[in-house]
């Protein structure tokens, strides 16, 4: 299986600043702001007619400069634009000041106050870019609220104003865009936490600049090919998956996970419950075993946690599992047990075989002894901390799941939809990951592939 090399880079703000500075130095003509404004104008020109009325709101920084360039180029094409510039002209940064001068030299008018709401066709958000780290205030907050009240198609330039580019936290207020045209490289905030609810459909224009150095990767398609299957093979070729969990009343979690492992291509799948697991008549090829017997069998990988509970028996089974020299996929109550028991945490940290943990934000908070808000306001940092502290490949679940590895790599997944917010989805993911790992796929590749596929299919 090939490594994840062909997916687009995902930049944190400090990385984008460095990338932009190098681009300005190495590719000075035309200026990046001129390129950004032209990219936005060209994008919009393919989507409007001669009768459309465009409202453009430009902020006090370089994002506002992009908007001014866009407005100038649109009006040169005969497009009806009403353009509002927020902030003081004498405090514009140099590139934005140049854009302002070019706008005025072209003979076009600017407004410094928001007009009465009219029948706009499009609203362009050029208020803030990637640097915002707090709630918008004053005239800027009013402009954001105004845009959201206009009931028009909203295009955000680079980032919706009010949305944190690194974390996906939506400050209040925040532009609710239908489309976002982002520049130079993808930002994780467009896709994780609040990002997808505010960015709408995201587009990238690299402005003709070669890729820079980024620490993250965006998963927007299958990151690797599924394991190849030879004609001359048999069930033993594709590994044996064990799934352990299902205390009394929670056996369905094991059923979901074992089915997912089977459908993901594992050769053999064995389900084991602390409760009573009946034959799955829809998939009778899934075998059953008592927990102690399961842990003594020659498994390729073990998934533990779905519906496991936190009883003394569950804790002892987890302790034994952590000592096995095989890959583990750890979820749900198994994570809660590790979070509450320092000895189990130590066993996890000391493992030599691959360990994959798949916490949702509350489970992640327990593992890091914090709260869900602290996890969610910086999901990338939280996932990386978990990966290092628990010596594990991590899937921090949620909108825009984050995958992190112990060596500091991180990935943002873009598949999935709100219909996945139902019980059992995590159990399915556990089974899918285990099923792919059983076929000899590395932890990083298996999690990246299955998290993306899980969001694409999202069927229990």
Residue positions forming the annotated binding site for K(+): 63, 125, 161
30: Cβ contacts below 8 Å, ≥ 6 apart? none
* Residue numbering of the annotated binding site: 62-66, 125, 129-135, 158, 161, 253, 307, 360, 397-401, 426-427
* Residue numbering of the annotated binding site for (6S)-NADPHX: 62-66, 129-135, 158, 253, 307, 360, 427
Numbers of helices and strands, H then E, in the chain = 16, 17
Site of tokens 């990966």: 387
Asked whether the beta carbons of 65 and 94 are under 8 A apart, the reply is no
User: Distance between CA 120 and CA 151 in Å, rounded?
Assistant: 8
For residue 216, give the 3-state DSSP assignment.
Answer: strand
User: Distance between CA 181 and CA 246 in Å, rounded?
Assistant: 46
User: Distance between CA 182 and CA 178 in Å, rounded?
Assistant: 13
User: Distance between CA 99 and CA 108 in Å, rounded?
Assistant: 12
For residue 175, give the 3-state DSSP assignment.
Answer: coil
48: Cβ contacts below 8 Å, ≥ 6 apart? 54, 79, 121, 122
Find residue 122's DSSP bridge partners. Answer: 54, 153
User: Distance between CA 17 and CA 1 in Å, rounded?
Assistant: 34
Write out the two tokens for 410.
């991180």
Please confirm whether the linkage preceding 85 is cis (ω < 30° from 0).
no
What number of other Cβ atoms are within 10 A of residue 310's Cβ?
A: 15
Classify strands 410-413 and 216-219 as parallel, antiparallel or unpaired: parallel
User: Distance between CA 424 and CA 254 in Å, rounded?
Assistant: 10
Task: Output the CA torsion 226→228→234→235 (10° steps).
Answer: -10
User: Distance between CA 151 and CA 157 in Å, rounded?
Assistant: 18
Write out the two tokens for 68.
């001014």
For residue 214, give the 3-state DSSP assignment.
Answer: coil
User: Distance between CA 343 and CA 345 in Å, rounded?
Assistant: 5
* Residue numbering of the annotated binding site for AMP: 397-401, 426
Longest dimension (CA), the chain: 82
Asked whether the beta carbons of 431 and 264 are under 8 A apart, the reply is yes
Q: Which of 9, 12, 11 is nearest to 133 (CA)?
A: 12
What number of other Cβ atoms are within 10 A of residue 208's Cβ?
A: 11
């Amino acid at each position: 299986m090939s490594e994840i090399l062909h997916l687009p880079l995902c930049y944190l703000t400090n990385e984008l600043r460095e990338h932009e500075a190098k681009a300005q130095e190495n590719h000075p003509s035309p200026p990046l702001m001129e390129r950004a404004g032209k990219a936005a104008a060209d994008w919009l020109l393919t989507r409007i007619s001669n009768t459309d009325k465009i409202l453009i709101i430009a902020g006090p920084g370089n994002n506002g400069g992009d908007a001014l360039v866009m407005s100038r180029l649109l009006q040169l094409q005969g497009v009806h634009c009403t353009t509002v510039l927020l902030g003081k002209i004498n405090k514009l940064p140099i590139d934005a000041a140049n854009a302002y001068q070019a706008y005025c030299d072209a003979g076009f008018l600017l407004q410094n106050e928001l007009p009465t709401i009219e029948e706009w066709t499009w609203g362009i958000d050029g208020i803030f870019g990637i640097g915002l780290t707090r709630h918008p205030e004053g005239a800027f907050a009013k402009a954001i609220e105004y845009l959201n009240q206009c009931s028009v198609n909203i295009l955000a330039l680079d980032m919706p104003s009010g949305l944190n580019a690194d974390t996906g936290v939506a400050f209040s207020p925040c532009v609710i865009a239908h489309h976002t045209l982002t520049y130079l490289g993808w930002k994780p905030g467009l896709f994780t936490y609040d990002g997808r609810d505010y960015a709408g459909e995201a587009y990238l224009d690299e402005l003709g600049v070669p890729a820079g150095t980024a620490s993250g990767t965006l998963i927007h398609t299958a990151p690797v090919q599924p394991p190849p299957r030879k004609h001359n093979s048999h069930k033993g070729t594709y590994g044996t998956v064990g799934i352990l969990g299902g205390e009394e009343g929670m056996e369905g979690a094991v059923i979901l996970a074992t089915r997912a492992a089977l459908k993901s291509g594992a050769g053999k799948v064995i389900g084991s419950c602390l409760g009573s697991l009946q034959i799955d008549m829809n998939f009778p090829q899934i075998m059953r075993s008592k927990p102690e017997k399961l842990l003594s069998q020659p498994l390729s990988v073990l998934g533990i946690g779905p519906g496991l509970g936190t009883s003394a028996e569950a804790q002892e089974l987890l302790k034994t599992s952590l000592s096995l020299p095989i890959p583990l996929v750890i979820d749900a109550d198994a994570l809660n047990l590790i979070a509450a028991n320092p000895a189990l945490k130590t066993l996890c940290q000391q493992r030599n075989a691959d360990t994959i943990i798949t916490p949702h934000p509350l489970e992640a908070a327990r593992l890091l002894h914090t709260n869900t808000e602290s996890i969610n306001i910086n999901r990338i940092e939280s996932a990386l901390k978990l990966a290092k502290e628990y010596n594990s490949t991590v899937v921090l679940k949620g909108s825009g799941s984050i995958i992190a590895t112990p060596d500091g790599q991180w990935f943002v997944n873009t598949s999935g939809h709100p219909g996945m917010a139902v019980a059992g989805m995590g159990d399915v993911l556990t089974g899918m990951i285990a099923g792919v790992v059983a076929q000899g796929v590395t932890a990083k590749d298996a999690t990246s592939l299955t998290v993306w596929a899980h969001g694409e299919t999202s069927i229990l």
